[in-house]
Amino acid sequence: MGAAALHVSLGAASAALERADLDRLTRSLRQSRSSPADAVAEELGARSLLGGNLELLLSEAELDALIGALFRLRGITERLQPLTELLALARAELRRRQS
């Protein structure tokens, strides 16, 4: 990870994303055109300005929107590892909440 890496946390786990990954994710969220996806995109955008660790406290609908956006990115991202890690974290958080 380069100096521009941001750590996105869901619960106790986190994934390190480069700025380009975060930009891809934000665009994917905005393409969803749903209120929960827009809320996540806004939160990521605002918090990423601070850098460092971005702790996401998402509703279940926002978590679903994040999972959908990450799932869509799996096929078009050349460097999948950080986004795949975040997808796994989001899915685990959703399972934890539903159990």
Q: Supply the range of the domain harboring residue 68.
A: 6-98
pLDDT at 85: 85
Count of residues making up the chain: 99
What is the share, in percent, of the chain residues with pLDDT greater than 70?
90
pLDDT at 1: 45
Within-domain flag for 38: yes
pTM, 2 dp? 0.81
Tokens coding 61 = 């609908």
Domain count, the chain: 1
Pairing of strands 13-17, 6-10: antiparallel
Within-domain flag for 28: yes
pLDDT at 60: 94
Average pLDDT estimate for 60-76: 89
DSSP E strand stretches across the chain? 6-10, 13-17, 53-56
Within-domain flag for 1: no
